[in-house]
Amino acid sequence: MNLRNSVGKQNELALNVAKHVIATTSAKTSNLVFSPASINVILSLLAAKSGGPIADHILSLLQASSIAELNAVSSKIVTDVLADSTASGGPTISAANGVWIDKSLPVQPFFKNLIENSYKAAFNLVDFRTKADEVVEEVNEWVKNQTRGLITDLLSSVSPETSLIFANALFFHGRWDEEFDPSLTKDSVFHRLDGTTLRVPFMSAYASSKHRLELYQGFKVLQLPYKGGSGDNRCFSMLICLPDEKHGLHAMLERIASCRGFLSGEGDIRGERVDVGEVKIPKFKFGFDFDVSEALKGSGLETPNDMIVHKACIEVDEVGTKAAAATALVGCFGCAMPRQKYDFVADHPFLFLVKEYSSGLVLFLGHVLDPSMH
């Protein structure tokens, strides 16, 4: 299995989910953040659990050759790509899976083996029939602990007929490779999609050698790297995709979504690397939640006996990024002439993603319509 190739194919679903969520939820008018990495782990487990037409459809959505491939990718992501690197000076990362199964059900050895070995999940036998509320509390507490308190109350309630909950929790805290000077943070104008403006705090930097800027037709992409751990071959960065037009976010998303391989950096459209001049980015902090199973109906995936819920949050400031997400499947079963420098002023709605480059894994994806919204 080629991990980068498999992850690249799975990334294709992320922008389609984003488009559907924007079209059918409050994300039309509010900020959005979710974790493609977290959702894809849950979908992979759902394929393994369900088999039949549901598995076939998920294999198609994630462009995988087999359930075994999905299981192998999920295992590699949780053990390698999302391994914590705090001790070596890199990002603090926590990626965990947990499963809660009703004790009245016979658990096939192969399924328990899959859960514990491929998905590295904590395995819990519980009583949904008479203590469903207590199980919900237990799952929510587990998610809260795994996300350092950022995600609370992932589940509101479940039916006593529930037989299984599979949850994934992801926490990321990365410091910029070059932090922004707080004394340069000043209020400035941000243009909303509806034409109104507001003043919000913008972080500023000028001609940083750490920032990488690429120009595309109609938009530009700024790469902001996080500090890496010593001896770590992973490379985490935030990418901010800014349309040239003040109201160009949706057109840019459509273009990126229609370009296969863009999120993996191997798409048909190529950017031109240019020198960075001034960089201005608003600070932002917000959360978002939605029903993944409802969103995936737009891709033709019907899960009549299973519900998938997702919550995510993100905070970006001068020091770096703190973000968390949780997803739950609730189932009933040199010397040269100076070149022109290009400014990057994110004073209107933009798309962002947090990505690990060696694997291509997209940890978080979203858009900012109003940096003042919390």
pLDDT digits (tens, 9 = 90+) for 221-243: 999 999 998 888 899 999 999 99
Domain contains 19: yes
Mean pLDDT score, 342-371: 93
Same domain, 260 and 274: yes
C-alpha torsion sign, points 251, 253, 258, 260: positive
User: What is the share, in percent, of the chain residues with pLDDT greater than 90?
Assistant: 76
Q: Residue 26's pLDDT band (boundaries 50, 70, 90)?
A: confident
Same-domain check for residues 41 and 154: yes
CB 193 within 8 A of CB 369: yes
Same domain, 232 and 359: yes
The answer to whether position 155 is within a domain reads: yes
- How do residues 279-335 score in pLDDT, each as one tens digit? 999 999 999 999 999 999 888 898 888 899 999 999 999 999 999 999 999 987 533
The reply to whether 373 falls in a domain is: no
pLDDT at 335: 33
The candidate with the shortest Cα–Cα distance to 350, out of 156, 211, 220, 160, is 220
Tens-place pLDDT, residues 58-116:
999 999 999 999 999 999 999 999 999 999 999 999 999 999 999 988 888 888 899 99
User: In whole numbers, what is the pLDDT of the chain averaged over residues?
Assistant: 92
Same domain for 275 and 290, yes or no, is no
**Whether residues 206 and 80 fall in one domain:** no
Does residue 146 form part of some domain? yes
Q: How far is CA 345 from the centre of its chain?
A: 24
Q: Are 13 and 47 in the same domain?
A: yes
- Of the listed ranges 130-134, 143-147, 271-275, the one predicted with least confidence: 271-275
Residue 295's domain is classified under what CATH number?
3.30.497.10
pLDDT for 181 equals 96
Question: Does 203 lie in the same domain as 215?
Answer: yes
The residue written with tokens 């391994």 in the block is 83
292 class by beta-carbon count within 10 Å (0-12 exposed, 13-18 middle, 19+ buried):
buried
The whole-angstrom separation of Cα 202 and Cα 207 is 16
The shares of helix, strand and coil residues in the chain, as percent rounded to the nearest 5, are 30, 35, 35
Residue 295 structure tokens: 């969103």
At 345, which helix (H) or strand (E)? strand 341-345
Sign of the CA dihedral 7, 8, 11, 13?
Answer: negative
Over residues 158-178, mean pLDDT: 95
Q: Within this chain, do residues 302 and 343 fall inside the same structural domain, yes or no?
A: no
Residue 159 shares a structural domain with residue 62? yes
What's the pLDDT at 333? Answer: 57
Assess contact for 144 and 282: CB atoms under 8 A.
no
What is the average per-residue pLDDT within 17-43?
93
pLDDT value at position 332?
A: 73
**CATH code for position 254:** 2.30.39.10
Would you say residue 140 lies in a domain? Answer: yes
Give me the mean pLDDT over the 135-160 stretch: 95
Q: Based on the domain organization, do 135 and 80 belong to the same domain?
A: yes
Distance CA 202, CA 188 (A): 6
Same domain, 245 and 353: yes
Task: Give the residue numbers spanning the domain of 113.
Answer: 3-175+285-331
Q: Which two tokens stand for residue 329?
A: 């499947």
CB 100 within 8 A of CB 53: no
Q: Is residue 76 domain-resident?
A: yes
First to last CA, the chain: 41
Residue 336 pLDDT greater than 70, yes or no: no
Q: Is the pLDDT of residue 5 over 60?
A: yes
pTM: 0.93
Question: Hey, CA dihedral for 185, 187, 188, 192, is it positive or negative?
Answer: positive
* 224 and 125, same domain (yes or no): no
In terms of Cα–Cα distance, which of 326, 328, 314 is closest to 367? 314
The answer to whether residue 8 is domain-embedded is: yes
Q: Is 374 inside a domain boundary?
A: no
Q: Could you tell me the pLDDT band of residue 339, with boundaries at 50, 70 and 90?
A: low
In angstroms, the CA 95 to CA 187 distance is 36
pLDDT at 145 over 70: yes
Other Cβ atoms within 10 Å of 275 Cβ, number: 13
Q: What is the pLDDT of residue 110?
A: 84
| Beta bridge partners of residue 342, listed in sequence order | 276
Give the count of domains, the chain: 2
Rounded Cα gap, residues 56 and 306, in angstroms: 16
356: which strand partners? 236
